[in-house]
Amino acid sequence: MEFRQTQAVCIPAVHLHMTTATMQVSQKDFEKAQEQLKLLKKDPGNETKLKLYALFKQATEGPCNSPKPGMLDFVKKAKWDAWNSLGNLSQDNARQKYTELVSSLISAESAGQTKDASPKESRHGGYETIIVSTENNITKIMFNRPERKNAINHQMYREIIKALHEAGKDDSTIAVITGNGEYYTSGNDLNNFANVKPNEMEKMAKDGAELLKEFVSSFIDFPKPLIAVVNGPAIGISVTLLGLCDIVYASDRATFHTPFSQLGQSPEGCSSYLFPKIMGLAKANEMLLFNKKLTAAQAYAWGLVTEVFPDGTFQKEVWERLKAYASLPKNSLAVSKQLLRSMEKEKLHAVNSKECEVLKERWLSDECLNAIVSFFQRKSKL
């Protein structure tokens, strides 16, 4: 795509000075920015050039006023879309944003950074048990209780629901779920069952089942590609949810363990339906009934994992790959993901409801309570 910056100098001059306190960019600054832009050594990339084009047009002509180009006139259409997307942004604001963007490009170049003007990582506030950040069109949701092997307590379930909801609507192209530290996650925090008074058991089970249902639903309904980056051992619900992710990358250090019968519980995360589809009934039975723990290589051979990477280069290789994926057309990816999911969505919600119903009963069973007590008495560990 070619955007000649000479366009900038052809535009007739508009107001010379801004008048209010917020409008700090003079026409002179704006013209200086246009000149500085020509001095850039590296191409800032199409996305940035489109932004510059749109801001320039808005600053000099106001809101988009030309007819929409035909669908097949790709370059004109992209330029028109970019300009049109600025809506009623005032000319003064557009001039300011243009000048700031040029200034950021110049400083990045002089700091020797790459010149794609991609935004740096931005951290989302309001979370305590997870870290949520966006960079390079990727929203990353990271389990962050490394000292508890990233066990998922009630707060973390709720925060992940919220983070997925927000990631589904933000500007990112894909979302990633991963763990901080040695573990991906050790699954449900068994403290979720601790300190419950006998007369509150029913309520604990009912509330737990509702929370679980909402949590799993937020994976079923997630509208963009969702990628699991399994950095280490994964247990319980974190394994079953992999069936609802679109891609699963694993370090060769990762293991995959669903010890439900050992814990007196039963499968969730739609695994009772998806695991037999993914790996075949015989293998799913070994995992879901008989607690078979898989290595990353086995999980790959059984179809649960998309690709395994050596731990030493895992982060580098995976994030490079994801960065490239996240530069693909966002809407195309989203509609394609939704198309694939739509065939199964109703079924998945029905499976989720059923699994939660069964688990609600399991949590009140002696088998489950004995397993929890054993864990806390340090008699059993996986």
Ligand X SMILES: CCCCCC/C=C/C(=O)SCCNC(=O)CCNC(=O)[C@H](O)C(C)(C)COP(=O)(O)OP(=O)(O)OC[C@H]1O[C@@H](n2cnc3c(N)ncnc32)[C@H](O)[C@@H]1OP(=O)(O)O
The residues of the shown chain that bind ligand X, judged by CB under 6 A, are 148-149, 151, 157, 186-192, 208, 211-212, 235-237, 263, 265, 268, 375, 381-382
3-state class of 23 per DSSP? coil
Q: What is the DSSP string of 140-193?
A: EEEE--GGGTT-B-HHHHHHHHHHHHHHHHSS-SEEEEEESSS-SB--B-GGGG
- CA 326/CA 47 separation, integer angstroms: 14
Phi and psi for 18 in degrees, rounded to 5?
-85, 155
- CA 5/CA 21 separation, integer angstroms: 29
Query: Do residues 365 and 264 lie in contact, with contact meaning Cβ atoms separated by under 8 Å?
Result: yes
Query: Judged by CB, which is closer to ligand X: 56, or 143?
Result: 143
Q: What is the DSSP string of 267-295?
A: --TTHHHHHHHHH-HHHHHHHHTT-PPEE
**Identity (one letter) of the amino acid at 58?**
Q
Alpha helices in the chain (DSSP H): 6-10, 27-38, 46-61, 74-84, 91-110, 154-169, 201-220, 237-240, 271-279, 281-288, 296-301, 314-325, 330-342, 345-362, 366-376
Whole-Å CA distances, 123 to 111, 141, 156, 177, 315: 23, 10, 17, 15, 19
Q: Please tell me the number of Cα atoms within 13 Å of 286 on its side-chain side.
A: 11
Query: Judged by CB, which is closer to ligand X: 237, or 245?
Result: 237
How many Cβ atoms sit within 10 Å of the Cβ of residue 104?
A: 14
Residues 6+ apart with CB under 8 A from 230: 178, 179, 184, 242, 248, 249, 250, 251, 254, 256, 296, 305
For the CB of residue 358, give the shortest distance to ligand X in the complex, in Å. 11
Query: Judged by CB, which is closer to ligand X: 139, or 188?
Result: 188
- CA 149/CA 65 separation, integer angstroms: 56
3-state class of 5 per DSSP? coil
Six-digit token pair at 164?
A: 């997925």
